[in-house]
Amino acid sequence: MSEWQKILKDDAVATLDKLAEKFGHDVIDVEALRPAFENFQMRITPSALEQIKSVGDPMWNQYVPTVQELDIVDGVIDSLDEDADSPVPNITHRYPDRVLFLVSPVCASYCRFCTRRRKVGDPEKIPLNQYESAFEYIRQHPEVRDVILSGGDPMMLSDRRLEYLFQNLRAIPHVEIIRIGSRITSHLPERITPEFCEMVQKYHPVFMNTHFNHPDELTPRVRQALDMLSKAGIPLGCQTVLLRGVNDDSKVMMKLMHELLKARVRPYYIYMADQVAGGEHFRTTVQKGLEIVKALRGWTSGLAVPHFVIDAPGGGGKVPLLPEYVEEITEDSVTFRNYAGERYVYKQPKQNGGCGGEPVEVPDIVSIAAGGSGSRKTKERSTKNGKVPRRRRSATG
């Protein structure tokens, strides 16, 4: 048994009684929480437990069961209708050139907002003995160039089993990209071993989509694991979920994005929390997500601004959302506001212009009134090259 498996077996908290021993019976009402526990099991790794500083903090909310999970209003068991797009066991084929391949039924820690809580933790619903039908489906569909390994958490599999998956996928000529969707780095960084990092390099390009929701998750040990993966040639992205009581704050989210980049992890998506039964108490409004994106874009590096998406209920796929910047589009111009709320006009190319035609006026950007009342003129200051210097703004205004 490897070190990380021993940690899970001996030190993880996986029962309500052990949870009450850890935090006190006055905090953990075992009998009140039992229905939520029976609906969706619990396991919290030592690394995740160490990140909990107080009851009800962002780490606590992600991992500790609550009676709120029993309140079903708009929640749906299979909120993304993944089963409807599953042609064979363990495969979801929703997008034209890629498939989701569920390869593990378990996770190191179970997130209480989990979209697949209907399946995760149940080996009968994500069977490990039906890989071959999935491989055969991919072989028979040459349009599939990208395979995302998910679950559960693929990194809960042994290196031997992971290599078996990599070998079979690399034997399919049209599979160009292999991606691993895993949260293991945030709550079981011990799983990232030198042996795994050496093995995976034989099967590149292999990408990993990590999952971090709060800057406190990026502990020194976690950063070490991420560094090992980067040095093994694995490009790292992060899929974050917008969660009430965890990261529904623009300052927290900006800090998270900055810490990810410092660890060489590229922010990829911020998801609206899904309408999954049992996780509705985590949902914010869409306006809150747009507010956060607006607080990121322009105020910090574009590298730190992920796509904000809703994974459409009923199987519609990811739909990107942006704050409204464009105000008007005509044949002559586009009027829009920048990140600071200032309005600008971009001139459209003349219809009779282009190669071989009449000369095209060079488009420029003209500052006009940026408020609802009166006009604001930009004071021009000459420079040697004739350009007008722009005032640099800080994130505070």
Could you list the active site residues? 94-95, 98, 107, 111, 114, 116, 274, 311, 318
327: three-class secondary structure by DSSP = strand
Gyration radius of the chain over CA positions: 25
On the question of a cis peptide bond just before residue 205, with omega within 30 degrees of 0, the verdict is yes
Structure tokens at 96: 């034209």
Sequence-distant (6+) residues with CB within 8 A of 210 are 182, 183, 185, 186, 226, 236, 237, 238, 239, 265
Sequence-distant (6+) residues with CB within 8 A of 249 are 292
Closest CA to 321 of 311, 308, 312: 308
**Positive/negative CA dihedral, 213, 217, 220, 225:** negative
Sequence-distant (6+) residues with CB within 8 A of 243 are 61, 62, 113, 213, 273, 282, 284
Distance CA 87, CA 85 (A): 6
DSSP label at residue 358:
S
Closest CA to 154 of 191, 115, 193: 191
